[in-house]
Amino acid sequence: GESVGLHLPTLSVQEGDNSIINCAYSNSASDYFIWYKQESGKGPQFIIDIRSNMDKRQGQRVTVLLNKTVKHLSLQIAATQPGDSAVYFCAERWSFDMRFGAGTRLTVKP
């Protein structure tokens, strides 16, 4: 899902399926992008990052894609597990400033 309006977008997937969470960022001067996962009652937890000189970066079961032309970021989670259920935020940085997207709630059905 993509962050629009004031409601938290939700994405519901079946366990074992792949998940794609999308994010539109705002500042063309942003040079560093981060995905965070936030579980209930916890602070945001770093998942993966990407710098503006790259368009793809892979981690363990996660891949981030960056399209600077349309200011779009996506997070792909392979073989989604129940423990992946959380709110996911993208964030963009320039200098010391960091701005978060509105977040997407991912629910994994067993």
Residue (of 25, 41, 43) closest to 91 by Cα position:
25
Stretch that binds another protein, among 21-29, 65-73, 76-84, 94-102 (CB under 8 A): 94-102
- Start-to-end C-alpha separation, the chain: 20
Pair of tokens at residue 50? 């990407």
Question: Looking only at residues 30 through 89 of this chain, which bind another protein when binding is defined by CB under 8 A?
Answer: 31-32, 34, 36, 38, 41-46, 49, 51, 87, 89
The rounded distance, in Å, linking the Cα atoms of 41 and 18 is 26
Give min distance, CB of 110 to another protein, in A.
24
Q: Which residues bind another protein (CB under 8 A)?
A: 6-8, 31-32, 34, 36, 38, 41-46, 49, 51, 87, 89, 93, 96-100, 102-103
